[in-house]
Amino acid sequence: MKYFNLIAAIALVLTSCNEDGPQPFVPEVNNLENGMVVLCEGLYQHNNSSITWVQLPGGAKDPSFFQTKTSRALGDTGNDMIRYGDKIYIVVNVSSTIEIMRASDFSPIEQIQMTENGQPKQPRFMASANGKVYITCYDGFVDVLDTASLTIDTRISVGENPEGIAVSNNKLYVANSGGLNFPDVDSTVSVIDIATNTELQKISVGINPGGVLANDAGDIFVISRGDYGPIPSRLRKIDPLTDQVVNTAYAFDISGMTSMSATDMLVYNASGVQRFNFQSDDVVATIPIDMATVNTLYRVQYRASEDNVYILDAMGYTNEGVVRKYDMTGSYLTSYQVGLNPTKLLFFD
């Protein structure tokens, strides 16, 4: 009994010690080929946005690929990533930066601080055309980035809290969400003349517009996300010649859309993925994916070279994400564990 305390304390310490497991293999990547770059948003104020490199088809990965290449972190809340020319552009929203990397080997080229008078512009999404990258900024502007000089040429005033952006018919279509005025959100899409960098008009499309997509024919599709309550999230179509909303009658719920081919795109929400045909202007098929195998459908992408669908599963938004691969018959093929809240894939053959 005399030494009970001592023995108990030692036992407590010893039993509470953990051993680290084996370190996973991290491939050394000199060139971006046979793999995919995955942008993971991370969580607000956690500074844990990241890039995962996944070697395909084997799945060997570097979960800190950006850090491996730059020796620094990506920042807070990476929202969008595009490949344009020989560069990759990454928008980091809360850190308010644009990271520019070489598309050949992911080596860093430039980091652009997106601030105006000392205040963060909070960039969100990008589109590219004519040697420029157009970046929506939550402070109510679209910034024009010259891809040669890597500087912001000009700022184009649009509506409040712009989100998605697409290019068609030498015009930019920008969804003005007004999200920071919730519940009094915006309901317009700004149309911008690329030649003059001026806003031509605002088109009313329905409340809380978010995603914007242009198909090969130039038609513009916009998702009006509703009020997350009784007003549902719905698709709208804009004719780029007349800049009129030509279809507001789509009846299916939608949270996102992604390009697929000249004739089709994929539309999705938490209950599944469907094929939308531009000719018939409607959903024509459901990809029969067993949604019970998906925890939190966050984004969907299509890879034309293998005719497969990739579901970016956010796993409840607070757990490491999973990229799940299915064929067009809905059969599960494989999955890859990635960072927190995967939001965009870039494939490299």
Neighbours of 8 (CB within 10 A): 10
**What's the rounded Cα separation, in Å, for the pair 222 and 300?**
16
Cβ 94 to other proteins, closest distance in Å?
6
**Pairing mode of beta strands 308-313, 297-303:** antiparallel
95: Cβ contacts below 8 Å, ≥ 6 apart: 47, 49, 74, 75, 76, 77
- Interface region with other proteins, contact rule CB under 8 A, candidates 147-155, 259-267, 323-331, 335-343: 335-343
Q: Least distance to other proteins from the beta carbon of 305, Å?
A: 29
- Provide, rounded to whole angstroms, the least separation between the CB of residue 147 and other proteins: 21
In contact, 192 and 213? CB cutoff 8 Å: no
Of 73-81, 146-154, 212-220, 244-252, which part binds other proteins (CB under 8 A)? Answer: 73-81
Map the footprint of other proteins across residues 271-330, applying CB under 8 A: 295-296, 298, 314-320
13: contact with other proteins by CB under 8 A: yes
User: Does residue 178 interact with other proteins by CB under 8 A?
Assistant: yes
The binder of other proteins chosen from 75, 78, 211, 272 (CB under 8 A) = 75
Could you count the other beta carbons within 10 Å of the beta carbon of residue 250? 18
* Gap between the Cα atoms of 18 and 246, Å rounded: 62
Q: Does 190 bind other proteins (CB under 8 A)?
A: no
Q: Is 269 in the site for other proteins (CB under 8 A)?
A: no
Minimum separation from the CB atom of position 34 to other proteins (A): 25
The minimum distance between CB 76 and other proteins, in angstroms, equals 5
Q: How many Cβ atoms sit within 10 Å of the Cβ of residue 264?
A: 18
Between the alpha carbon of residue 49 and those of residues 39, 68, 315, the distances in Å are 8, 14, 16
What are the structure tokens assigned to 326, written together? 């299915």
CB of 113 to other proteins, least distance (A): 7
Please identify, using beta-carbon distances, which residue of 15 and 242 lies nearer to other proteins.
Answer: 15
What is the total count of residues that contact other proteins (CB under 8 A)?
Answer: 64
Q: What angle do CA 162, 166, 172 make, to 5 degrees?
A: 80
Site string for other proteins, 122-161 (x = CB under 8 A): x---------------xxx-------------------xx
Residue window 219-258: x/- pattern of binding to other proteins, with contact defined by CB under 8 A: ---------x--------------------------x---
Question: How much is the CA Rg of the chain, to the nearest whole Å?
Answer: 22
CA distance 286 to 270: 13
- Least separation in angstroms between residue 145's CB and other proteins is 17
The rounded distance, in Å, linking the Cα atoms of 301 and 330 is: 14
Laid out side by side, the sheet with 198-204 consists of 162-168, 171-176, 188-193, 198-204
Which tokens belong to 14? 């010893």
Q: How far is the CB of 178 from other proteins (least distance, A)?
A: 7
Candidates 36, 38, 76, 191: give the one binding other proteins (CB under 8 A): 76
**What is the distance between the alpha carbons of residues 202 and 179, in angstroms, rounded to a whole number?**
17
Residues in 78-117 at the binding interface with other proteins, rule: CB under 8 A = 92, 94-97, 111, 113, 115
- Three-class SS of residue 29? coil
- Beta-strand pair 108-113/115-116: unpaired
The yes or no reply on residue 67 touching other proteins (CB under 8 A) is yes
Could you give the CA distance from residue 97 to residue 115 in angstroms, rounded to a whole number? 8
Query: Which of 35, 63, 78, 164 contacts other proteins by CB under 8 A?
Result: 63
Kindly state whether residue 120 participates in binding other proteins, applying the rule CB under 8 A.
yes
Owner of token pair 């549902």: 232
Q: Does the footprint of other proteins cover residue 12 (CB under 8 A)?
A: yes
Please give the residue ranges that form the binding site for other proteins (CB under 8 A). Answer: 1, 4-5, 8-9, 12-13, 16, 18, 41, 43, 45-48, 50, 63-64, 67, 70-73, 75-76, 92, 94-97, 111, 113, 115, 118-120, 122, 138-140, 160-161, 178-184, 228, 255, 295-296, 298, 314-320, 339-341
